[in-house]
Amino acid sequence: MTSADDLISLVRDYNPKANETRLRDAYEFGEAMHEGQFRHSGEPYFSHPVAVAAILTEQRLDDATIITALLHDTIEDTKASYEEVTARFGEEVAMLVDGVTKLTNLQLSSRETKQAENFRKLFMAMSKDLRVILVKLADRLHNMRTIRAMRPEKQAQKARETMDIYAPLAGRMGMQWMREELEDLAFKVLNPEGRQSIIRRFVTLQRETGDVIHRITGDMRAELDKAGIEAEVFGRAKKPYSIWRKMQEKDQGFSRLSDIYGFRVITRSEEDCYRTLGTIHQRWRAVPGRFKDYISQPKSNGYRSIHTTVSGRDGKRVEVQIRTRQMHDVAESGVAAHWSYRDGVRTENPFAVDPAKWIASLTEQFDGEDDHDEFLEAVKLEMYSDQVFCFTPKGDVTKLPKGATPIDFAYAIHTRIGHACVGAKVDGIRVPLWTRLRNGQSVEVITAEGQTPQVSWLEIATTGKARTAIRRALREADRERFVKLGHELARSAFEHVHKKATDKALETAARALRVSNVTELLARLGAAVITAHDVVQAVYPELTAKEGEEVSPRRAVIGLEPGQKFERASCCEPLPGERIIGITTRGQGVIVHTADCDRLGEFEDQMDRWVDVHWHSGTHPAAYGVTLELTIGNDAGVLGRICTLVGEKKANISNLEFVDRKPDFYRLMINVELRDVEQLHSLILTLEAESDVAAVARYRERSGTHSRPA
């Protein structure tokens, strides 16, 4: 374990003005708090916080971050309290330690918790102070380096979480070296055979070709010396996981893979970067389409470098990165470069990004997402994507993720332009809105007054900003329609229990359901956020309960064993009056299917699970949900008439969802609560007779198709 003196020496190497007393006090306090605790490997537990602090010294971070690393597990795992840490080391350190503790408790990859909600908390913690995530990443890196001491199942869980979350996050923050190491350590756990095969092939290749890296590095240095350019040249073989990913993406074997070597040239000035590029291209043939200039168009995390791929010795492709020393420091530390110290003062690196502005730009588009799953989708789109650079007609550059479309481009310029978009020209040629944009293209957005976002745009857009803006606009446009539909659903549901949906009744329901006002209640009802049954039950719980007691669940299906429960299969939604078959399941009792359900074919070789059941012949309540698929004309009042027809048939609408909207028609799914199959047939006949209903069918999950009732 690194001693206090050695750790302090590591800090003083880059920050001679570091507060040695505070660092030593933190070391001794952490060591005392963790006394008697041990890691899975048998080592003293405090060796882990010390190793995390040592990792952070490699990034030349400030005293507060190093102290936080030493104490990051004290509040959670020892008798130390937030107040004690505050009194001894100050509010700044205490808040950082508390932030790391909260991140540690987030189960980001757990299926048992709300992953999206925890991702939101992760970004909230990052927005308060980005150093929290720097400590957490270093913590994860050391845990992955020592993961072999854990149980195999725990290793796999940590490795998946690292591959899915922490490695991409490190990359998004510009810490590419950490991303690569985290990925490779996780790869070693998740696919050890694949990793070993890559390493064996590397050894064989080196035996056959000799030290390619040494030869090419020497060639580059010789060419730069001829051109009078002072620069450092480094070469390396890419990490096994990076090679494996390229093999999977390109569907190629190792022998056919070209750019498995990478070289880095660090120059004295920006001018020398471009001189170096010219020298390399004069000596070796450039590979078309593999040139990126991140110096003139830097990434949002401050990354600057020139990337090019050339054909080196024996036709082997090699990737070359060219940058200055200051650019290299940011490339190694990413956003963390903001806190870097050199010679006792914080480094004034012109390329370091202000972390507050960076996290604000990253989370700006997520703030409008009320839905946690949509927030998670937007976050992952931003974290996992590479960038392309496109130009406006005036020559301004717009950064977009790989796979972006003109819709994304329009919203990146301004939300108003995105809303009004009706078409686009790419390099002067009119293209569909779903076209994938490529690096260097010029994009012109065509707008029109009166245009509004379309539902289909959600399938076209790829950026979180565009998707959030489209969803918000659609919600606002739908609100008035949802309120009107909610009125009809409420009226029909109240009439179903022989009551009226008066203003007073709706106000009572709004209070009971903790909704701000009646308009909001109706909007949520029309948007299927809440059901009509919920609204009625909030006002008349005794009536809804009484209806549900007509036939008890135990008596609804005949043929079950005493105490055995049943559920209706969601694929076919059987109704009383239909022939049914029961399938026993572990923990769920019996799942009841219609006799003609396609899913029964999955159990043909498990006849011991089949149960001969049939519906009770008595009167059933209107409590069995069935989904109807309707195509209706897009005219005023049509939805209201349909709701009225459903109510007249003594059925209740429990849910409604629009699946397609066109200028002349709507296609929607309606879930209605029915008594039996006869009531279903009667309702379908009534709806088919309505002139504005183009088609109506019972929706069933049958091999991915919809089927009409017999």
Task: Provide Rg for the chain, Cα atoms.
Answer: 32
DSSP 546: H
Asked if 452 and 477 count as a contact pair (C-beta separation under 8 A), the reply is yes
CB 699, CB 706: distance < 8 Å: yes
CA distances from 199 to 34, 144, 208, 212, 437 (A): 39, 20, 14, 16, 36
Active-site residue flag, 272? no
d(CA 634, CA 494): 26
Q: Which residue matches tokens 């932030």? A: 99
- Name the active-site residue from 58, 76, 161, 520: 76
Find out whether 133 and 126 touch, Cβ atoms under 8 Å.
yes
Give dist(CA 400, CA 418) in Å, integer.
14
- Six token digits for residue 530: 């809440």
Amino acid at 502: T
For residue 432, the Cα-to-chain-centroid distance in whole angstroms is 27
Using DSSP, state whether 358 is helix, strand or coil.
helix
Q: Residue 558 forms beta bridges with which residues? A: 614
Other beta carbons within 10 Å of 448: 9
18, containing H or E segment: none
Render 387-454 in DSSP notation, one character per residue. Answer: EEEEE-TTS-EEEEETT--HHHHHHHH-HHHHHTEEEEEETTEEE-TTPPP-TT-BEEEEE-TT----
Largest CA distance in the chain: 98
The pair of structure tokens assigned to 160 is 């998946």
Could you say which of 20, 43, 58, 77 is catalytic?
77
Give yes or no: 35 in active site: no
Which pair of structure tokens corresponds to residue 564?
A: 């055995």
In the structure encoding, which two tokens stand for residue 7, read together?
């750790």
**Distance (Å, whole) CA 181 – CA 142:** 11
Residue located via tokens 């790419």: 426
Q: Are 140 and 372 spatial neighbours (Cβ–Cβ below 8 Å)?
A: no
Between the CA atoms of 647, 650, 655 and 656, what dihedral angle is there, to the nearest 10 degrees?
-40
- In DSSP terms, 276 is beta-bridged to none
Q: Which residues pair with 668 in a beta bridge?
A: 630, 658
CA 173 to chain centre: 16
Contact between residue 419 and residue 469 where contact means Cβ atoms under 8 Å apart: yes
d(CA 268, CA 276): 11
Q: Which residues pair with 232 in a beta bridge?
A: 266
Question: Per the structure block, which two tokens stand in for 411?
Answer: 């919203």
- CA 86-87-92 angle, to 5 degrees, is 35
Active site residues: 76-77
